């Protein structure tokens, strides 16, 4: 009985992964394109206005693709070298790791659209709040 249940479970898991595979490949390809565009956006003058605008813009850019923390630190260093404020850099790092617009379809396949949209919206808003709280804490 246990062997049959294991085989059925493996079959269902393989089927779910097979259905997710095309979406996952598309997400990875699109995310890799976005990662290449981010340094160019820095030099296009999208930043350097004020802390509020810069933090929202950086969080929006970072939200396009989910990234790894190690990569976000490198990009954050580039943002700081370009003269972007600490609030914007912190918002970028937080949104980069927690929010993902491009991977949203893959997440929705596994968890449902409603949950995925709410999770991303809340993570985006919290990334802005965390950025401000981090900088305020560092200044105290």
Contact 59, 92 (CB under 8 A): yes
Tokens of 10: 């493996």
Could you identify the residue written with the tokens 């404020």? 85
Determine the pLDDT at residue 45. 66
Determine the pLDDT at residue 31. 63
Q: Whole-structure pTM over 0.75, yes or no?
A: no
Contact 94, 127 (CB under 8 A): yes
Determine the pLDDT at residue 53. 83
Determine the pLDDT at residue 101. 87
Domain boundaries, given as residue ranges, for the chain? 2-139
Mean pLDDT by 10 residues, the chain (140 residues): 84 84 72 66 67 85 77 75 83 90 86 94 95 90
């Amino acid at each position: 009985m246990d062997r049959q249940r294991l085989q059925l479970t493996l079959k269902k898991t393989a089927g779910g992964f097979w259905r997710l595979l095309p979406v996952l490949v598309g997400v990875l390809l699109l995310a890799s394109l976005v990662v290449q565009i981010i340094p160019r956006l820095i030099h296009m003058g999208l930043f350097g206005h004020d802390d509020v605008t810069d933090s929202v813009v950086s969080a929006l850019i970072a939200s396009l693709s989910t990234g790894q923390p190690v990569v976000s630190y490198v990009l954050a260093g580039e943002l700081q070298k370009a003269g972007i404020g600490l609030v914007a850099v912190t918002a970028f790092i937080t949104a980069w790791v927690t929010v993902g617009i491009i991977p949203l379809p893959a997440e929705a396949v596994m968890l449902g659209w409603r949950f995925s949209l709410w999770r991303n919206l809340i993570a985006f808003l919290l990334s802005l709040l965390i950025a401000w709280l981090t900088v305020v804490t560092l200044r105290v």
